[in-house]
Amino acid sequence: METNMKTKALAIWKHFKAEPAFALLCNLGLMLVIYYLCRIAFFLVNKSYFSEMTFGHFLTLLQGGFKFDASAIAYTNMLYMLMQVLPFKFRLNAVYQTVAKWIFIITNSIAVIANCADMVYFPFVGRRTTSTVFSEFQHEDNLGKVFMHAAGDSWYVVLFAIIIIFAIYRLYYKPSETFSFKSKFVYYPLHTALLCLVAYGAFISARGGIVQPQRSRPITLNQANKYVNKSTETAIVLNTPFCIIRTAGKVEYANPKYFEDETAMAAIFSPIHHPQPTGEFKPLNVVVIIVESLCKEYSGFLNKDLDNGTYKGYTPFLDSLYAEGLTFEHSFANGRQSVDAMPSVLSSIPKFIESYVLSPYATNNISSIADVLKTKGYYSAFFHGAPNSSMGFSAYARSAGFDDYFGQDEYGDRDLDGTWAVWDEEFLQYYADKMGELPQPFVTSLFTATSHHPFKIPARYEGKFPKGTQDIHQTIGYLDYAISRFFKKMAQYDWFENTLFVITADHTNQATHEEYFTDANLYAVPILFYHPGSNLKGMEKMPVQQMDIMPSILSYMNYDKPYFAFGQDIFSTPAEDKFVANYNTGRYQYIKNEYFLQFDGQQTNAVYNYQSDVLLRNNLKGQVPEQEEMETRLKAVIQQYVVRMTENKLTL
Please state, in angstroms and rounded to a whole number, the distance separating the CA atoms of residues 611 and 596.
9
Is the model's pLDDT at 1 over the cut of 70? no
Instruction: Name which residue leads in pLDDT, 195 or 629.
Output: 629
pLDDT, position 252: 64
Is the model's pLDDT at 421 over the cut of 50? yes
Please state, in angstroms and rounded to a whole number, the distance separating the CA atoms of residues 627 and 611.
16
* % pLDDT > 70, the chain: 92
Q: Please count the residues of the chain.
A: 652
Is the model's pLDDT at 569 over the cut of 80? yes
Partner residues linked to 591 by β-bridges: 580, 596
Cβ contact 648:364 at 8 Å:
yes
Is the model's pLDDT at 63 over the cut of 50? yes
The 3 state secondary structure assigned to 584-641 is: ECCEEEEEECCEEEEECCCCEEEEEECCCCCCCCCCCCCCCCCHHHHHHHHHHHHHHH
Of 122, 19, 34, 106, nearest to 70 by C-alpha is 34
pLDDT, position 124: 79
Summarize the confidence of residues 472-498 as an average pLDDT. Answer: 98
Is the model's pLDDT at 152 over the cut of 90? no
- Cα distance between the two ends of the chain: 89
Maximal CA-CA distance, the chain: 108
pLDDT, position 216: 45
pLDDT digits (tens, 9 = 90+) for 197-250: 878 887 888 888 765 443 346 777 777 877 888 878 889 999 999 988 888 876
Summarize the confidence of residues 444-459 as an average pLDDT. Answer: 95
pLDDT digits (tens, 9 = 90+) for 7-26: 655 655 566 666 787 888 99
Alpha helices in 178-261 (DSSP H): 184-207, 234-237, 240-247
Dihedral-angle region of residue 507 (phi above 0 means left; psi in -120 to 50 means alpha; beta otherwise): beta
Average per-residue pLDDT for the chain:
90
Burial class (CB in 10 A: 0-12, 13-18, 19+), 495: middle
Please state, in angstroms and rounded to a whole number, the distance separating the CA atoms of residues 154 and 171.
26
SS3 371: helix
Summarize the confidence of residues 77-86 as an average pLDDT. Answer: 88
Summarize the confidence of residues 182-206 as an average pLDDT. Answer: 73
Is the N-terminal amide bond of 454 cis, ω within 30° of 0?
A: yes
Give the pLDDT band of residue 516 (cuts 50, 70, 90): very high
SS3 122: helix
pLDDT, position 183: 57
Cβ contact 652:562 at 8 Å:
yes
Is the model's pLDDT at 179 over the cut of 60? no
pLDDT digits (tens, 9 = 90+) for 244-302: 888 887 666 889 999 999 999 999 999 999 999 989 999 999 999 999 999 999 999 99
Q: State the DSSP code for 557.
A: T
CA 523 to the chain's CA centroid? 11
Summarize the confidence of residues 396-414 as an average pLDDT. Answer: 93
CA angle 228/231/236 to nearest 5° reads 60
pLDDT, position 4: 64
**Ordered strands of the 587-592 beta sheet:** 579-584, 587-592, 595-599, 604-609
Please state, in angstroms and rounded to a whole number, the distance separating the CA atoms of residues 589 and 480.
30
SS3 504: strand
SS3 36: helix
Of 549, 173, 490, 155, nearest to 331 by C-alpha is 549
SS3 435: helix
Is the model's pLDDT at 3 over the cut of 60? yes
Question: Exposure pattern of 75-102 as b/e (b: 16+ CB <10 Å)?
Answer: bbbeebbebbbbeeeebeeeebbeebbe
Summarize the confidence of residues 575-584 as an average pLDDT. Answer: 96
Question: Exposure pattern of 544-553 as b/e (b: 16+ CB <10 Å)?
Answer: bbbbbbbbbb
pLDDT, position 215: 38
Please state, in angstroms and rounded to a whole number, the distance separating the CA atoms of residues 534 and 531.
6
Please state, in angstroms and rounded to a whole number, the distance separating the CA atoms of residues 124 and 114.
16
Burial class (CB in 10 A: 0-12, 13-18, 19+), 173: middle
Cβ contact 244:129 at 8 Å:
yes
The CA-atom distances, in angstroms, between 219 and each of 146, 247, 522 are 33, 11, 27
Is the model's pLDDT at 178 over the cut of 60? no
Backbone dihedral angles phi then psi of residue 316, each to the nearest 5 degrees: -60, -40
What does DSSP say about strands 527-530 and 499-505: parallel, antiparallel, or unpaired? antiparallel
Is the model's pLDDT at 184 over the cut of 70? no
Please state, in angstroms and rounded to a whole number, the distance separating the CA atoms of residues 279 and 285.
18
Q: Which residues fall within 8 angstroms of residue 36, CB to CB, at 6 or more apart?
A: 62, 65, 69
Please state, in angstroms and rounded to a whole number, the distance separating the CA atoms of residues 266 and 165.
55
Cβ contact 43:175 at 8 Å:
no
pLDDT digits (tens, 9 = 90+) for 94-124: 888 899 999 999 999 999 999 999 999 888 7
How many CB atoms lie under 10 A from the CB of residue 276? Answer: 10
Lowest-confidence range among 73-87, 153-167, 178-192, 620-634? 178-192
pLDDT, position 460: 96
pLDDT, position 43: 96
- Which run of H or of E encompasses 343? helix 338-347
Q: State the DSSP code for 299.
A: B
Please state, in angstroms and rounded to a whole number, the distance separating the CA atoms of residues 177 and 175.
6
Please state, in angstroms and rounded to a whole number, the distance separating the CA atoms of residues 37 and 45.
12
pLDDT, position 214: 37
Please state, in angstroms and rounded to a whole number, the distance separating the CA atoms of residues 530 and 327.
9
pLDDT, position 145: 77
pLDDT digits (tens, 9 = 90+) for 360-397: 788 888 999 999 999 999 999 999 999 987 888 888 99
